[in-house]
A and B are shown apart, each in its own frame.
Chain A
Amino acid sequence: MKKFLPITLTAAGVIFLSSCSKLFDVRPEGVLLIEDALKTPEDFEKVLNSCYDVAANYYNGRIQMLNEVLSDNLAAPINNNDLNEVYLRRVNFFNGTTNGVYREPYRSIFRINFMIENFGMVEMPESRRLTFEAEGRFLRALGHFEIIKLWAQPYGYTTDNSHLGIRIQNQNTGTQLQIRSTVKEGYDAILQDLWFAKNHLPATNGNYATKYSAMAALAKVYFQMNKFDSAAFYAGQVINSGQFTLEGIDRFKLGPISEGIFITVSTQTPTLLDGRSGAFTGNYRSDNNPNPTLRASKEFYNLVAQRPNDTRLSFFEVRDEGLPTEFVAVTKFNKDAFSIPVLHLTEMMLIRAESLAELSQNLPEAINLINQIRERAFGDDSENLPATATAIEIRDAARLERRIEMFAEGDRIQDLKRRGTKGENITVRGAAWNCPGMVLQFPASDINETFLGNPEGGCN
């Protein structure tokens, strides 16, 4: 018997291992398995909220700053090699900052697609499901739009927009390698999502997306495509909704923002400050940092300073004047935390004004829109456009105010590219609007034989 004890033990063991597989299914603590995570419609609401959360993390200044550094609004970044690469238009596929920002919208898109693909897990009213989907698709469109603007040549770069865009993820693809969609496919998908969102979103939705958010996004996308009639139409719809009124010159603040059409919010409670403006404060802030990373360019400062009564001049301050280290500090973001008006009334007014000018339609309305912005900036009508202003004058006024109003919002470089595709002769800090370095490089982990990288070689 004793000889066979070990063998008996082995046999017992094998039975033990195979029959007690459950013993080795250790339910993780502190996290939820899918069957526990998605049980009620409210769970989907939380997933959706996490998509907004991600959006707030790339709209906290990160996506805006990559655009802004590429433009002529800023001087060379200090003490930040990654941003300096962007400024030098030599982004390589190891750039941790650009790679990090690139991943964020897709993180949100994964969750949106996951949510849409799993609606079947829970019973909920059709209307509620449609609202969830509409909010998701609104955010998906914004995410795709932000990526396509930075990582691909602009809409209109080729006449049929068959040039390589980005990956449009309308469904999750796991670990499968995918090809780049064309820019045309990209804009088509973005518009599809926004139309759906416009049709199914409510008119009010707290701090979340509304049908006006979708319309404002449509105006912005169409404007970027140089489709002025649609841009003017949707911008007009938002302006005339009566839901939004202009703020003062500073619309970056905590609490409600009356001109915010879609905002990503920083929240303050007595116990918690949930700030979502870190990349603005971290890079521009000049009251607690003698050497801010990002500073306005001299050229931009001079543009603002040529109208000394412009109250927006107070957002800028020349430091170390006359020294080799002289620079233009930005004071606009000298605060701890604020919400970000991603889509706002000022932009809608300027889109509509410029679009009307481009279309030579309703010029008095266009003049009125610009003058509202100017009166806010100057405190009086001293800089107003005359009623006799020509379409060209209106367009140029809109562009000037747009550049000043939307400083640091990442608009300038896309505006220049848009105008480049229209055939205007555009150079940005000495380089053509469509040179390779104007487009960021994809992360090294994305580029392979299936997914081609952008051409390198900067803009020299």
Chain B
Amino acid sequence: MVFLLITCFTSGIYAQAIKGKISDKSGPLPGVNVLVEGTGKGAVSDMDGSYEVRGLPANTNLTVVYSFVGYRTERRPINLKPGQTLEINITMAEEISRLDEVVVVGYGVQRRRDVTGSVVKLGAKEVTDMPTPSFETAIQGKAAGVQIITGSGLAGSGSVVRIRGIASISGSGDPLYVVDGIPITQDFFIKGNAGAMNNNPLAVLNPGDIESIEILKDASATGIFGSRGANGVILITTKRGKTPDWTFNFSTRVGTSSPVARPNMLSGPEFLQMYKEAWINDGKVGVPVLPGGIKWEDAQNINTNWVDEVIRVGVKQRYDLSAGRQTNKYDFFAGISFDGNQSYLTGNNYDRSSIRLNGGYNITSKLKISANLSLIEGINNRVDEGWAGGLGAAMSTALPIYPIRNPDGSYFIGGTNPVRLRELKEWRTRELRSISGITLTYNPAKNLYINLNTNYDYMNLVEDIYEPAELLLVTDRVGDSRRFTNIINNWNTFLTATYDWKVNEKNRLNIMAGLEFQEQARGGMSYFSTVAGAPFWKARDMLDNRQDFTPEKSRFGSVFSRINFTNQEKYIVQGVIRADASSKFGPDNRVGFFPSVSGGWIVSEEAFMKYNPVINFMKVKASYGIAGVAPPGNRDLWRSSFGIDSVRGYNGQPILFPLLLENPTLKWETSQIFDAGVEMGLWEDRITTEFSYYYKYSTDVFLNVSLPGYAGFDNFFDNLATIYNQGVEWVVKSKNIAKQNFSWTTEFNIARNWNKITDISGFNEEAVSGGTNDTRVVLGYPVGTNFLVRFSHVDPATGRPVYLDINGEPTFEWNPANRVPAGRVLPDAIGGVTNILRYKNYDLSFLFVFTIGGNIYDSSSKRQLGTFDSDGWNHRTDQFDRWRKPGDVATYPRLTTTPETYGTGTPWINTTLWLHDASYARLRNLTIGYTLPQEAARKLKVRNARIYFTGTNLLTFTRFIGLDPEIARDFENVTDRNMSVNITFLTPPQEKTFNLGIDISF
């Protein structure tokens, strides 16, 4: 009774409400902010455009404000009678089409209208719509000309991202990642490729914190980042409070992980049968001698399926809770998130916990302070993979005739045993990361803004490994505990002044200038103990034998300016200049200048286009600029340095030795970039499209060349190559159906890149040093050329493989001198198609990504389909198609135990037999969702609620016979990363996931 009374009483005062539907000319408009001024009450329109604001006071003059980015803000005065629910339906008009959308462009924002460069903007939804091991993977297929090759199935695995081809070889070919203005630490080689995985510095970023990603592709856009923009820039903006009253969001997702394909390894009996055939083929008699000293009779009783032993169904879970608000005085956003990401590899998971606080406060009307603070912990429970163990071992040297355990229960140690390795070895990396910054914005006069940003990116990566005596097969100690700590302190500060000068009615000038300084310092230490008996994370007090790593430090300073001039809102000219100084160069080449100039013409603003019935918008743009690349790492390569070892030395005495061959003339790698593009909107933007062309000529490209042995040093870092890239990109978005209850939109993008190395300063194909060397730098061919001996056929008479020599003549001899450019890892074309369908409260979206042309090199198949020799690899069932008797026409040659049958002294021979067409199409993501109707949501006291199912990598269409046509193996170094994507060497295939998720805001 009391409850009822209270209800009546309160509803008597605050029972008034407004509700209605918001739409634009093409249908319902979700996400519109509805604010009743002066009450602090508001709402956001839902999927079908409905909104409702309750609890409004009666008999008061109020104004309802409807706002949405890209649309003209609407205002409606109201005065509600007691108990009244007023229905207000609103049709929002786009603000001069989409041209006033704000785009982040680096050191500021620009209206879409004023952008003369090529910038792709992705919203939060596009980054979080599917579970990926790392945020950048979700971009795949959504931005034209951005090639993303997902790494592997390992938890936290990174991707190789290339924007508009590849213009670097031994310099980093990765784009620059900038989070809220901070060029973040993005070194993939902090841990080398330990356990066949590169540490992914991007895995710690919580996709749930991301508000938008802007990808800058051309010189006009990247020019402001000068020397660091040559490979494109990815700008990440994190969320801030934006609703007038508190909004809380909670989202969660649970799912499973399994491999997209399973290796088809031989069973025990199959292995023995094939082994025996090889033995007999070689004319050997008696009982075959098996690898690992296993007796034939024993082997017949064992049939271990190692693949089953090393994989599982992984479980994924994600929880993300955030709150945000924006008022006239402050804005605030806080988020907390946990992502538990098990891969399908037994024992492997990556758990990320993160906290974010973003806020701003207007100290006075002229001075604002804002801050972004984030703290992230990423824990990766590692397993050895690829060449180091795990599934890689199951696909190679763990033979099906090896048991897991001996009859007495002890582990089998006579050959590779990935289960033993996994169960005995403890391995964990823990990354603590904080990417934080403070900004002061001072507005001393109208249209003049001065910004001071100070940022700090802290990375603390601690790797703990414990190998017990039982694993090491030693008795003199308990086990080996190792800890490697890497700490990277990355400071960055910049000061900018921006003046928006409205010269007169027709002309506007935006001038920005700034200074930037960055220092990156790296250090670390290692610890070792033979008595701790546990990994150091469990035995912290046992840290012993500390040794400090050689610290490294580099500095980087810049001065830059951007002038953007607009005439009559249709002619735009922009000039950018940036001068960069880097400690990575000697005094003569320390400063580099990177200018760019660009222009745009909004043709549709011209009188003659005003009444064009088809084209409602058209913009033509072009740019030319120079960008650069500095050497990777923080070490000086331009001057020689010396190391001293007084601990071990030699003969108990210290040693002093030169560390590198100096290169005092080392200078910036530079790219000249020309771009042109046209954007169009047709039939009132029912179809929007963009076509772009680029030409990029890169000179003084870094090569870390292998020196001849007699030089006394293994390699030398120098400006030696010239590369050109050109390409075209086409994007089209179509609103196929836009009805109140049913809508269907399609987005399609495709890009083609041509790449060629035009100079390597006279070095040969073996010039490029280090790494797995899966591909070569070949003059006149693209970066990442498969340089291989050509396999011709299997000789039907002898069953021996026939190769082609350098002149194309058949030969039984495999000789590396006969290698030719035989393939390339760069594809002909890449792209993606997204379809989004909405029916009432249901939504369905699916994304296909595709790659046309290019090659994939299945490097491990040279052993999996090669000789049966003493170091014992298991083979694949593909080899059933082999030569067995004279006259056989077979894919694979006769089985043998000695590489001499295949015309060589080693079983590790590369030929075109292992080179395949890399074309594929993949259903990257399929999502089915249901959004709670407004009525139901209200009953549950929530603003919005959506439940969805999403699956990734559900279908793959390819002719590749290996596991996964889209793969990036573990790399040894930057050069390897640039050159050897689409090479698989026992690399775990990507994962297929099924997930169920709920998003709620209240």
Chain A positions near chain B (C-beta within 8 angstroms): 2-3, 5-7, 9-10, 12-14, 16-18, 20-21, 23-26, 28-34, 36-37, 43, 45-47, 49-50, 52-53, 56, 78-82, 84-85, 88-95, 99, 102-103, 106-107, 109-111, 113-114, 166-167, 169, 172-175, 177-178, 206-208, 265, 267, 269, 272, 274, 290-291, 324-325, 442-448, 451, 453, 456-458
Contacts and interface: CB of A to CB of B under 8 A. Distances in A.
B554 interface: yes
B651 interface: yes
Contacts of B652: 267, 269, 274
Given A31-B641, A324-B289, A445-B766, A53 B649 contact: yes
Contacts of B713: 107, 110
A46 B655 contact: yes
Contacts of B716: 175
Contacts of A93: 766, 816
Contact of A173 (B289, B559, B659, B711): B711
Contacts of A33: 639-642
B908 interface: yes
B656 A46 contact: yes
Given A174-B661, A177-B708, A7 B559 contact: no
B293 A291 contact: yes
Given A17-B579, A24-B583, A10 B559 contact: yes
B767 interface: yes
A109 B711 CA distance: 9
Nearest to A5: B497
B712 A109 contact: yes
Contacts of B438: none
Contacts of B287: 324
B312 to A, nearest CB: 31
Contact of B816 (A17, A32, A92, A99): A92
Contact of A6 (B561, B649, B767): B561
B904 interface: yes
Given A49-B653, A49-B654, A16 B559 contact: yes
B499 A90 contact: no
A84 B513 contact: no
B583 to A, nearest CB: 4
* 3 closest Cβ pairs, A-B complex: A110-B712, A13-B559, A90-B905
16 contacts: A5-B497, A7-B513, A9-B497, A9-B514, A10-B561, A23-B581, A26-B555, A31-B550, A37-B656, A47-B657, A92-B905, A93-B766, A102-B709, A109-B712, A167-B708, A325-B289
Contacts of B499: 2-3, 5-6
B640 to A, nearest CB: 6
Given A91-B905, A175-B718, A49 B649 contact: yes
Contacts of A10: 513, 559-561
B635 A28 contact: yes
Contacts of B648: 272, 274
Residue among A32, A50, A53 with the highest chain B CB neighbour number at 10 A: A50
B639 A26 contact: no
A90 B501 CA distance: 75
B815 interface: yes
A82 to B, nearest CB: 7
A91 to B, nearest CB: 7
B1 interface: no
Interface string B637-670: 0011111100111111111111101000000000
Contact of B871 (A81, A114, A178, A274): A81
Contact of A444 (B497, B550, B552, B766): B766
A106 B712 contact: yes
Contacts of B511: 3, 6-7
B661 A175 contact: yes
B911 interface: no
A214 B46 CA distance: 90
Given A30-B550, A92-B906, A446 B708 contact: yes
Interface residues of B, number: 91
Contacts of A56: 650
B711 A90 contact: no
B515 A16 contact: yes
Given A49-B656, A167-B710, 4 more contacts: A14-B579, A31-B642, A47-B655, A53-B655
B569 interface: no
A56 B651 CA distance: 10
Residue among B287, B635, B636 with the highest chain A CB neighbour number at 10 A: B636
Given A6-B513, A78-B870, A81-B906, A446 B710 contact: yes
Contacts of B706: 443-445
B476 to A, nearest CB: 10
A456 B815 contact: yes
B640 A445 contact: no
Nearest to A88: B905
Interface string B15-56: 000000000000000000000000000000000000000000
B887 interface: no
B591 interface: yes
B641 A32 contact: yes
Residue among B286, B656, B769, B817 with the highest chain A CB neighbour number at 10 A: B656
B512 A6 contact: yes
A446 B709 contact: yes
A175 B590 contact: no
A13 to B, nearest CB: 3
A28 B711 contact: no
A269 B647 CA distance: 11
Nearest to B900: A88
A21 B289 CA distance: 68
B440 interface: no
A360 B641 CA distance: 56
B559 A17 contact: yes
B568 interface: no
Given A13-B513, A169-B710, A24 B555 contact: yes
A318 B907 CA distance: 29
B165 to A, nearest CB: 27
B498 A444 contact: no
A218 to B, nearest CB: 24
B123 interface: no
Nearest to A166: B710
A207 B649 CA distance: 14
B364 to A, nearest CB: 18
Nearest to B553: A26
Contacts of B659: 31
A110 B641 CA distance: 15
Contacts of A24: 555-557, 581-583, 590
Contacts of A111: 657-658, 712
A325 B291 CA distance: 10
B642 A324 contact: no
A106 B710 contact: yes
B908 A267 contact: no
B444 to A, nearest CB: 7
Contacts of B448: 2, 5
B6 interface: no
Contacts of A453: 817
B383 to A, nearest CB: 24
A50 B905 contact: no
Contacts of B501: 3
A26 to B, nearest CB: 4
B1000 interface: no
Contact of B591 (A18, A32, A325, A446): A18
Nearest to B659: A31
Contacts of A174: 661, 711
A81 B497 contact: no
Nearest to B287: A324
Contacts of A6: 497-499, 511-513, 561
Interface string B689-731: 0000000000000000111111111101010000000000000
Contacts of B273: none
B905 A84 contact: yes
Contact of A23 (B444, B513, B557, B714): B557
